[in-house]
């Protein structure tokens, strides 16, 4: 074979490999749509972010980033499996294989806030995992939001369905209208009722408060929000700066007391204006009880058989 023929043979082989590679990438690719503002993509094995103005194809290893006013949508399948990226978010597609019927999808929210939507319940052979520095979330047919802060702390809110949160094999099932949080180096929080991240933070971190009493009377601290509950001790009003919960009925509030929690009765409480709402506890709650929300059994997808 002459030099010229060998040259063209090599070119044909290269083009064939490139064509197969591009076809495979298209099979496993997603559509990135710019909703508004600054959106850019860092292609796998590159170091530069490329501005996107309208639409682009993204695949495994690509990093998508939104600016101060940027919002974008990544559509994996037309059945409603997509993710919206809010401003100042960095997001990476880690693994993506399969087809619209059965697939394995793994992504990472590095920083910022995203909203995930699965338009159907996944079958037993499919998986959709969202990884963060704080925890991993596994969804089967849900709508849920994820927030990752600069410290690495991650939070999740579930709008529809159930999402499983995992931190070092500590698992929590999170139902609709509830949320969970985890520090970069720390355990999963309680699963608490919340529909916004401000509510999630207030439920877990408490709210700043000023408590006053008449005639400098000390306040009893009890194990439960009830005047007949066991008394743990007393506290002065000026010592209370944060409340961590409220009973369903009455003016009972949860405070930290001697390395644990206790309950006080107070009608003279002034909250900081930034408080998004205290965590609500049952009126018969006793400190130490498990408040994990009950989960309804998930319906089995109809396979048509």
pLDDT tens for 105-147 read 999 999 999 999 998 889 899 999 999 999 999 998 899 999 9
DSSP 8-state class, residue 175:
-
Evaluate if residue 24 carries a pLDDT over 70: no
Residues 109, 177, single domain; the answer is yes
Q: Residue 284: left if φ>0, alpha if ψ -120 to 50, beta else—which one?
A: alpha
Residues 77, 186, single domain; the answer is yes
What's the pLDDT at 2? Answer: 55
Evaluate if residue 240 carries a pLDDT over 50: yes
What's the pLDDT at 250? Answer: 78
Residues 65, 98, single domain; the answer is yes
Residues belonging to the chain: 305
What's the pLDDT at 99? Answer: 83
Residue 263: inside a domain, yes or no?
yes
Q: How confident is the model at residue 8 (pLDDT cuts 50, 70, 90)?
A: very low
Residue 194's Cβ-count burial label (10 Å; 0-12, 13-18, 19+) is buried
Q: Residue 11: left if φ>0, alpha if ψ -120 to 50, beta else—which one?
A: alpha
Least confident of 170-179, 266-275, 279-288, 295-304: 295-304
Residue range 158-186, pLDDT digits in tens:
999 999 999 999 999 999 999 999 999 99
Cα dist from 259 to 70, 105, 232, 262, 292, whole Å: 44, 42, 12, 10, 22
Evaluate if residue 1 carries a pLDDT over 80: no
Residues 176, 48, single domain; the answer is yes
Residues 216, 134, single domain; the answer is no
CATH number for position 213: 2.30.30.40
Global pTM value: 0.85
* Coil, strand or helix at 208: strand
Mean pLDDT of 229-256: 94
CATH number for position 105: 2.60.120.1440
What's the pLDDT at 80? Answer: 83
Residues 109, 67, single domain; the answer is yes
As for how many domains the chain has, the answer is 2
Query: What span, in angstroms and rounded, lies between the C-alpha atoms of 191 and 204?
Result: 9
Percent of the residues in the chain that have a pLDDT greater than 90, as a whole number? 72
Q: Take residue 134 and report the two structure tokens written for it.
A: 């704080």
Which stretch of DSSP H or E encloses residue 160?
Answer: strand 154-160
Least confident of 31-35, 209-213, 259-263: 209-213
Evaluate if residue 22 carries a pLDDT over 60: no
Query: What span, in angstroms and rounded, lies between the C-alpha atoms of 112 and 22?
Result: 31
Q: How confident is the model at residue 216 (pLDDT cuts 50, 70, 90)?
A: confident
Q: Which domain holds residue 228?
A: 206-281
Evaluate if residue 23 carries a pLDDT over 70: no
What's the pLDDT at 299? Answer: 52
What's the pLDDT at 135? Answer: 97
What lies within 8 Å, CB to CB, of 236 at 6+ separation is: 216, 218, 219
Mean pLDDT of 73-77: 94
DSSP 15-72: HHHHHHHHHHHHHT-EEEEEEES-EEEE-TT---EEEESSEEEE-TT-EEEE-TT-EE
Evaluate if residue 205 carries a pLDDT over 90: yes
Residues 140, 192, single domain; the answer is yes
DSSP 243-294: E-EEESSSSEEEEEETTEEEEEE-S-EEE-TT---PPEE-TT--TT---PPP
Task: Kindly calculate the radius of gyration of the chain based on its CA atoms and give it in whole angstroms.
Answer: 26
Smallest CA-to-CA distance from 205 within 223, 186, 190, 225 is with 190
Please count the other Cβ atoms lying within 10 Å of the Cβ belonging to residue 172: 21
């Amino acid at each position: 074979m002459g030099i010229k023929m060998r040259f063209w043979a090599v070119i044909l082989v290269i083009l064939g490999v490139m064509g197969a590679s591009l076809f495979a990438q298209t099979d496993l690719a997603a559509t990135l749509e710019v909703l508004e503002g600054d959106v850019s993509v860092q292609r796998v094995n590159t170091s530069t972010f490329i501005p996107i103005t309208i639409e682009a194809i993204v695949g495994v290893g690509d990093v998508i980033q939104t600016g101060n006013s940027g919002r974008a949508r990544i559509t994996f399948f037309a059945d409603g499996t997509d993710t919206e990226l809010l401003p100042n978010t960095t997001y990476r597609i880690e693994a993506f294989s399969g087809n619209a019927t059965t697939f394995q999808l793994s992504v990472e929210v590095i920083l910022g806030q995203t909203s995930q939507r699965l338009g159907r319940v996944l079958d037993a052979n499919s998986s959709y995992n969202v990884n963060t520095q704080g925890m991993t979330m596994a969804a089967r047919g849900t709508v849920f939001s994820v927030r990752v802060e600069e410290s690495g702390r991650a939070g999740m809110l579930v709008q529809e369905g159930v999402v499983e949160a995992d931190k070092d094999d500590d698992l929590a099932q999170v139902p609709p209208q509830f949320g969970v949080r985890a520090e970069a180096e720390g355990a999963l929080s309680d699963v608490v009722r919340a529909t916004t991240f401000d509510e999630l933070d207030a439920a877990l971190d408490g709210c700043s408060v000023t408590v006053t009493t008449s005639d400098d009377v000390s306040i009893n601290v009890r194990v439960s929000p009830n005047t007949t509950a066991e008394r743990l001790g007393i506290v002065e009003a000026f010592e209370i700066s944060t409340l961590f919960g409220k009973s369903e009925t009455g003016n009972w509030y949860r405070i930290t007391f001697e390395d644990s929690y206790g309950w006080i009765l107070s009608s003279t409480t002034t909250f900081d204006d930034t408080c998004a709402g205290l965590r609500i506890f049952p009126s018969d709650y006793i400190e130490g009880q498990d408040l994990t929300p009950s989960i309804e059994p998930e319906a089995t997808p109809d396979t048509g058989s």
